[in-house]
Every structure is written in C-alpha cells, then in structure tokens.
Structure 1
Amino acid sequence: MNAPLVDIRDIWHRFGQHPVLKNVSLTIAAGSYTILLGPSGSGKTTLLSILGGFVNPSEGKVLIRGQDCTSVPPAKRPTTTVFQDYALFPHMSVGGNVGFGLRMQGVDGATRAAKARDALALVGLAAAFDKKPHQLSGGQRQRVALARALVIEPAVLLLDEPLGALDLKLRRQMQDELKAIQKRVGTAFIHVTHDQEEAMALADHCVVMNDGRIEDEGPPERVYARPATRFSATFMGESTILAGTVIESSDRTSTVTTPVGPVSLSSALPLGSTAALAIRPEHLVLGAASAGTKLGEAAVSDVVFQGSFKRVLATSVEEPSLRFIAKLPATSIVHAGDRVAISCDTDQIILLTD
C-alpha cells in the first residue's frame, strides 16, 4: 500500500482555552481532490492553515511526503495556498504575478517568464500575460491566482473558499475548470468550502467537519447515499429524519416504530434500542401509491420551483413536529395546502449510527 501524500496525526488546536480542532487525524492520497466541508466554526479553515504552515497546532503532527512539516514555515513546505481574495499585486502584470513565487526562489527572468506563460496557458489565459489584474474579470483573476500557485509545482495545493466571491454562473464554470485543471496537473488539491453542491461537484474525497471534528469522510457518493452520522445526513444535502424505537428484531431485519408508523429495515438492531432514520428528498413519494414504506399523510406547506425539480415541504398529519422535504420532477402537479400520502423506497432508508 502506498504511503499517503499528507498524513495528519492527532491534531489539536486551541485559541486560548477554546479547542477549535479536537484530535483530528486524516490521510490524503497523491492526485486526489479533497474537500473540507462544514459550517462556519467547524475548524476546516484552521486545519487548512495548519496544512499551509500559517498556524502551528497545539498538539499533533503534519507529515507531507513522509517528512514532518509541523513547524516548517509556509515558504519552505511543498504547499501553496489560493485565497478567496486572490491577493494579486495590482502594480504587476499578470505574468509578473504568476512568476512572483519563482522570483522569490531565485529563478532567472527568462525561465520565469516561460514557466509563467505555460501556467497561464494551463488555466486558459495565455493572452493575458501583459495585462494588469484590474483589466480582468473576477473569474480570470481567480485563474491567475491558481496559475501563480501551480507554477512552483507544489505537492499540495490548498484552496481557501476560492469561489466564494463569484456569482453562481461563474462559480459553476470555475468548478468545472478547477476539476479539469486538477486532473491535468495531477497535484493533490485540498479545498475548503461550506457549499455542499461545490463539494459534490469537485471532490473525489469529501471530509465533513463539525465542531472541530471529522464527522464523516469518503467518496462524495457514499457520504451522500450512506452518511455516517445525523449531522452528515443533514449537512451533506437535506434529509427527513425519523426517530424511533426497535420493537422487533431478528438476525437480518428489524422493525422500528416511528411517529408515522412502523418501518422495517434489513439490519439487525438490538430490541428496545433507539434508532434514527434518514430519507433523502428524492426518495420520498407524494400522493401516488407506492409499494414501499408508508409514512402516513402530510399537508403541503410550500412548493418551490427550482428549474429541474420542485422542492416540496410538507408537515406530517400524524406528527405535526415532523417536516418532510421532498424533491419532485419539475412537471409534478402539487400545491401548497394539498393533503397527500407519503411513502418511500424501503431500500433507500438510511440507518444513522449516532
């Protein structure tokens, strides 16, 4: 088995007496696109700062390529960081900005210019070499910052919410470009965001953080389809959560009583134990008869058209504190005030372990 490119071991970090990272361990493979995903205050940006050398952890180690880099300053470790605000020098040309890191390394002018042109070509800005940053759009300046980071050929590229300042259309365009560039150069990218859509669009390794800890990690398809915890199920996309108690159990199946009726699962659970079940919006069926699990009736409170689908909120008739979140085809005929039967595909019910 190949050693990981980045090995984060038992990292703790405190601001005063307040812990912002709590015993975080994580390995990152060479050539991967890792997303650190979580809400504000979850510790993701602090972890990225520790990886970049801008913050020294209170405890623990950071190994890159097998070398202990925990106390190595940013300029001397094999990482570069792309920040949300781009941090381009306004008085320098685009080519000068891209070549700045090479200049600090003592690379001669001709080599510097050639490498800067190659890096700009990589991000689709070959013609911008002699322009100034103010002559470029936000998306172009972001690509210049990316070229500047890549030109020094880091082992790991760190991206701190790099798309946060862009509008929705440009953000989606840059997501496609980032993924394509990462595949071309093969550098490991570690990217911080709080945007679940961005995480699923870019990552092949998704790390969900909350309150200074890693809640879940793995391929985004697995984290979404089979989240490990309640937090992961509600942050990485939306879910309807049912709480219940196991009333029947055998070697292969269990029945959980919930406020909207019994739910059978193909999992052996201890009799009398509590269980939390998650159902993704696209797996709920409203109105039409279903051969799956019946979940009672609900009153539709809101219908939001979102282009390719309709997002429907409905309140359970049997348990008014329970709100269903459903994603229906855009052509579905459903209105606020409708009273509908609710069901779901039994195989798509997620058993949460926490």
Structure 2
Amino acid sequence: MTAPLVDIRNVSHRFGQLAVLKDVSLRIEPGSYTILLGPSGSGKTTLLSILGGFVTPSQGKVYIRGEDCTSVPPARRPTTTVFQDYALFPHMSVGGNVGFGLRMQGVDGATRAARAREALALVDLAAAFDKKPHQLSGGQRQRVALARALVIEPAVLLLDEPLGALDLKLRRQMQDELKAIQKRVGTAFIHVTHDQEEAMALADHCVVMNDGRIEDEGPPERVYARPSTRFAATFMGESTILSGTVAEAKGGTATVATPIGSVCVPGAAQAGAQIALAIRPEHLVLGANEGGVGLGMAKISDVVFQGSFKRVLATSTVDAALRFIAKAPASATVQTGDTVAISCQAGDMILLAN
C-alpha cells in the first residue's frame, strides 16, 4: 500500500473545557478531492485549521508527505488555505495578490509576474492581472484567491467554505470550475462545507463529521447509497427513518418489528437489537407497488414542486411520529390532504444501528 499524502493520527483538540475533536484519524490520498462535511460545531473547520498549521492539536499527530507537521507553522508546511472571505489585499493589483506568496519566498519580480499570469490563466482570469479586487465580481475574487493559493504549488490545498458567500447560480458554476481546476493541476484539495449537494458534486472522498468525530467516509456514492450511521443517513441527503427491533435474523435477512408492522430486509443484525431502517426519498413509492414492502397508509401534508420532481411530505396514519419524505415525478397528481399507500423495495432499505 502506498503512503497517504496526509495522515491524521488520533487527533483530539479542546478549546478550554470544550472538546471539539475526539480521536480523529484520517488518510488523504494524492490527487484526491476530499470534502469535510458536517453541521456547525462538528469539528470540520478545526480539523482544517490543524491541517493548515493555524491550530496545534491537543493530542495526536499530522503527517504530510510522511513528515511530522503537527507543530510546523503555516508558512513552512506544504499547504495553502483559501478562506471564505478571500482575504485579498485591496490596495494591491490582482497580479500582486496572486504573486504575494512568491514574494514572501523571495522569488524575483519578473518570475513572480510570469507565474502569477500563468496561475490567473489557469482560472480563466488572465485579463485581470492589472485590476484591483474591487473591480471584480464575487466569483472572480474567489478565483483570484484560488490562483494565489495554487501559484506556490502546494501539496495540499485547503478550502474553508470557499463558495459560501456566492449566490446559488454562481456557486454551482464555481463547483464545476473547482473540480475542473483540481483535475488539471492534480493537487489534493481538502474542502470544508455544510452543503450536502456541494459535497456530492465535488468530492471523490467524502468525510461526514458530527460532534468532533468522523461518522462515515468514502466515495460520495457509497456514503449516500449505504451510509454507515443514522446521522450520515440524515445529513448526507434526506431519509425516512423507521425504528424497530430485530425479531429474527438468519440467512442474511433480518425481520424487524416496527410500529407499522413487521418488515423483512437484507442485512446482518442480531435478534433483539434496536435498529433503524433508512429509506431515501427516491426509493419511496406513493400508491400500490406489487412486490414491494408495504409501509402502510399516509396522509400528505406538503407537496413542493422542485422542477424535475415533487418533494412530498406525508405522515403515517398508524404512527404519527413516522414522517415520509418522497420524491414523486413532476407529473404526479398528488396534493396536500390525500391519503396514499406507501411502499418501497426491501433492497432499498438501509439497516443501521439505532
């Protein structure tokens, strides 16, 4: 097995009495696009700050390219950070901003200018070299910050919610551009966000964090389709959660007693265990579904048209605590107040520890 580019080993950190990271271990491979995903307070930004050298962990080690960088200051480690507010110098030209890191390294003016122009061309801003930051749009300033980070050729580029200040259309455009730039330069990107759609659009390695710990990690397709924990199932996209007790388990199938009846699902479990069944919205069927698992009747409380589909919320008529979240075709004739049968395929139910 090849050595990882970044190896975080048993890192914990406290701010006073508050534990913000709890024994976190993570390996980042060269050339990967890693997303640290989680709600506010999950520890993702603190972990990024530790990687960038702005915070020294209370415990644990951080290795980059096989070297112990735990206590190495930001300017001496092979990382650069792109902050949410861009942190551009308003009095400097765009070219001056991009070349600033090279200037701190003692690179001569002609070489600085040439490399700054190359970096700006990489982000499609070659014509902005002599402009000031205030003359650029938000998306352009974001790309300048990216060029400034890339020009010093870091081993790892750290991005702290870089798209958070942009509007929806520009954010999606920048997602495409970030992914394309990362593929071109081959640098490992580690990107913090709380936006699940952003994570799925960009990552080839998704790390879901909660309460200072890693809940799940892997390719976003796997984390979404087969999350490891209940938290991951509800944070990485939406899920209907059905709680129950395993009544019987044999032959790779578990029979689960739930408030809406007995359900048989594929998966390994122990009889008597308290578990949860997660069902993604696209796997729920409104109406009769021959061959599927019946989940009873439900009353529709809300229907929201979202372009290619309708997002439907419904409450079980048997268990008022059970709320279904479904994606119905845009052409579906469902409306608020309807009572419909709900079902899904057994193989689409994800068995999780409760």
Calculate the TM-score normalised by the size of structure 1: 0.99
AA matched with 1:324? F
Residues in 2 aligned to 1:288 and 1:193: alpha-carbon distance in whole angstroms: 39
Deviations 1:151-191 (A, max 9, x none): 00000000000000000000000000000000000000000
State the match for 2:261 in structure 1. 261
State the match for 1:56 in structure 2. 56
Measured after TM superposition, the shift of residue 269 of structure 1 is: 2.5
Q: 1:236 to 1:306 in 2, by over 3 A?
A: same
Contact 1:290 1:343 in 2 (8 A): no
What SS class does the counterpart of residue 86 from structure 2 fall into? coil
State the match for 1:163 in structure 2. 163
AA matched with 1:61? K
Residues in 2 aligned to 1:122 and 1:290: alpha-carbon distance in whole angstroms: 54
Measured after TM superposition, the shift of residue 2 of structure 1 is: 0.8
What SS class does the counterpart of residue 39 from structure 2 fall into? coil
Q: Which residues of 2 match residues 209-288 of structure 1 at below 5 A?
A: 209-288=209-288
AA matched with 1:48? L
State the match for 2:71 in structure 1. 71
State the match for 2:42 in structure 1. 42
Residues in 2 aligned to 1:55 and 1:299: alpha-carbon distance in whole angstroms: 51
Measured after TM superposition, the shift of residue 249 of structure 1 is: 2.5
State the match for 1:138 in structure 2. 138
AA matched with 1:246? V
Unaligned segments of structure 1, at least 5 residues: none
Contact 2:286 2:342 in 1 (8 A): yes
AA matched with 1:219? P
Contact 1:290 1:344 in 2 (8 A): no
Measured after TM superposition, the shift of residue 263 of structure 1 is: 1.1
AA matched with 2:41? G
Contact 1:242 1:278 in 2 (8 A): yes
Q: Which residues of 2 match residues 1-354 of structure 1 at below 5 A?
A: 1-354=1-354
Deviations 1:184-210 (A, max 9, x none): 000000000000000000000000000
Measured after TM superposition, the shift of residue 290 of structure 1 is: 3.4
Measured after TM superposition, the shift of residue 18 of structure 1 is: 1.1
Contact 2:36 2:192 in 1 (8 A): yes
Contact 2:11 2:21 in 1 (8 A): yes
What SS class does the counterpart of residue 285 from structure 2 fall into? strand
Residues in 1 aligned to 2:352 and 2:249: alpha-carbon distance in whole angstroms: 17
Deviations 1:9-68 (A, max 9, x none): 010100111110000000000000000000000000000000000001001100000000
Q: 1:159 to 1:268 in 2, by over 3 A?
A: closer
Measured after TM superposition, the shift of residue 252 of structure 1 is: 2.5
Measured after TM superposition, the shift of residue 353 of structure 1 is: 3.0
AA matched with 2:306? Q
75-84 vs 257-266, greater mean Cα deviation: 257-266
AA matched with 1:289? N
Q: 1:145 to 1:307 in 2, by over 3 A?
A: same
Work out the number of aligned pairs and report it: 354
AA matched with 1:348? D
Q: Identity of aligned pairs, percent?
A: 81
Residues in 2 aligned to 1:180 and 1:42: alpha-carbon distance in whole angstroms: 28
Contact 2:289 2:344 in 1 (8 A): no
39-48 vs 269-278, greater mean Cα deviation: 269-278
Deviations 1:192-241 (A, max 9, x none): 00000000000000000000000000000000000000000000000001
What SS class does the counterpart of residue 228 from structure 1 fall into? coil
Residues in 2 aligned to 1:62 and 1:98: alpha-carbon distance in whole angstroms: 28
216-225 vs 286-295, greater mean Cα deviation: 286-295
Contact 2:293 2:346 in 1 (8 A): yes
Calculate the TM-score normalised by the size of structure 2: 0.99
Measured after TM superposition, the shift of residue 318 of structure 1 is: 0.7
Contact 2:9 2:26 in 1 (8 A): yes
Measured after TM superposition, the shift of residue 257 of structure 1 is: 1.2
What SS class does the counterpart of residue 130 from structure 1 fall into? coil
Residues in 2 aligned to 1:290 and 1:193: alpha-carbon distance in whole angstroms: 41
Residues in 2 aligned to 1:195 and 1:340: alpha-carbon distance in whole angstroms: 32
